[in-house]
Amino acid sequence: MRQMDELFSIEKSVGEVSSVISLVFNEEATQVLEEQKEYEQFEQEEVKEEKPKVEGEDGEEAPAEEEPAEGDDGEPKKPAFKPEDYKWTITNGCPKNLPQLFRDFKGGSVIDDKKSAQEFSSSSQFEAIAKSLDQFCGRLQDDAGARSFYQQIIFQE
């Protein structure tokens, strides 16, 4: 299951996810840098429409009257969708990690926080986990859900 599907599934069944803590051995990137993004390139197609020539009474060409295109219900027809009018990123084979996904989903108000497990306990990983979770939960209570947090606790292998 993709992390995006998992996050949406949790929000659907449990409720809004306002903050996330991640206990990892390797630091994860929190943003996709602009130079790392690849964009879809579309070929430019030249389409020339020829208007029918209409001759007036004096033999000169008169401008053809353009009728607005209408749909079945009598409303003006919308122009055809052109994907080349938009910027599309190429995402096949480039999944986002949880910090990137959470940041994109919650917007720019997410606060990223990275800490070493050594800050919580230098002797035991279990103690570092317990203390980091206590600190994280205390931070959530103090903030009362006003902001979204993404915190990474990075352990040494």
pLDDT, tens digit, for every residue of 59-98? 555 555 555 556 567 778 888 888 778 877 776 666 777 8
pTM greater than 0.75:
no
Paired tokens of 31: 């943003």
- Per the CB < 8 A criterion, the answer to whether 76 and 69 are in contact is yes
Query: Which pLDDT belongs to residue 7?
Result: 82
- Domain locations along the chain: 19-30+89-154
Name the one residue in this structure whose structure tokens are 């915190």.
151
- Percent of the chain past pLDDT 90, that is, above it, reads 7
Structure confidence by residue, pLDDT tens digits, 39-51: 777 777 665 565 5
For 106-121, what is each residue's pLDDT tens digit? 877 788 888 999 999 8
Which pLDDT band holds residue 127 (cuts at 50, 70, 90)?
A: very high
Task: State how far the Cα of 117 lies from the Cα of 27, in Å rounded to an integer.
Answer: 12
